[in-house]
């Protein structure tokens, strides 16, 4: 399998709603290869997650978790998850802002509002149902990655652009792993 190039903000593919994974694709060698390429790329880039559109594939597929990301050293570890055709449901109205970065927006961070708790449903790579209720960093990562499947990038959610910028300017003197 392979580490794929990450497409960056400005590429029109990142603004489109991705195609759902069809019943015929579940369990297929092509889907397994795509997932492995995504995993190889996510790990190589130290990402907390990655969505298929970020490597140029317009499919409703995201993977996340499975290792401690050096880009988010204080965050709890999230179980490795392959999520196809997700549906997110916010639980309650409580939201919080926190700093996010993105492999498709390299070298930058922004303060992004997200729901604190949510339920996500979808399927794994074999079409078996997934139904989880999560909160905290796990909920934030799921929301961020699923946004990619529906043409949304985190800067589009930032309420105040004074809280968006280059990592070295926002956090002078701090050593944070870059996304690029």
Residue 105 to residues 13, 42, 88, 109, Cα–Cα distance (Å): 14, 14, 23, 8
Q: What is the pLDDT of residue 174?
A: 79
Given 100, 125, 145, 179, which residue is catalytic?
145
Question: What are the tens digits of pLDDT across the range 18-71?
Answer: 999 999 999 999 999 999 999 999 999 989 999 999 999 999 999 999 876 666
Q: Is 135 a catalytic residue?
A: no
Q: What is the pLDDT of residue 66?
A: 83
Q: What is the pLDDT of residue 180?
A: 37
Report percent pLDDT > 90 for the chain: 87
Residue 55 to residues 11, 13, 111, 175, Cα–Cα distance (Å): 11, 10, 24, 27
Q: What is the pLDDT of residue 45?
A: 93
- Cβ neighbours of residue 153 closer than 8 Å, sequence gap 6 or more: 9, 14, 102, 104, 105, 147
Q: What is the pLDDT of residue 138?
A: 96
Q: Class of the 12-170 domain?
A: alpha beta
Q: What is the pLDDT of residue 176?
A: 57
């Amino acid at each position: 399998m392979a580490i794929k190039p990450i497409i960056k903000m400005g590429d029109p593919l990142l603004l489109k709603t991705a195609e759902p994974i069809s019943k015929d694709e579940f369990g297929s060698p092509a889907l397994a290869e795509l997932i492995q390429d995504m995993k190889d790329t996510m790990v190589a880039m130290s990402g907390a997650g990655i969505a298929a559109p970020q490597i140029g594939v317009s499919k409703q597929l995201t993977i996340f978790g499975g290792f401690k990301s050096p880009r988010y050293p204080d965050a709890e570890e999230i179980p490795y998850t392959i999520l196809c055709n997700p549906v997110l449901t916010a639980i309650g109205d409580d939201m919080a802002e926190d700093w996010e970065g993105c492999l498709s927006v390299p070298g930058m961070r922004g303060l992004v509002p997200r729901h604190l708790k949510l339920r996500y449903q979808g399927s794994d790579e074999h079409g078996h149902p997934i139904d989880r209720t999560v909160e905290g960093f796990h909920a934030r990562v799921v929301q961020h990655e699923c946004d990619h499947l529906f043409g949304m990038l985190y800067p589009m959610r930032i309420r105040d652009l004074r809280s968006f910028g280059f990592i070295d300017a926002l956090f002078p003197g701090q050593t944070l792993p870059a996304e690029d």
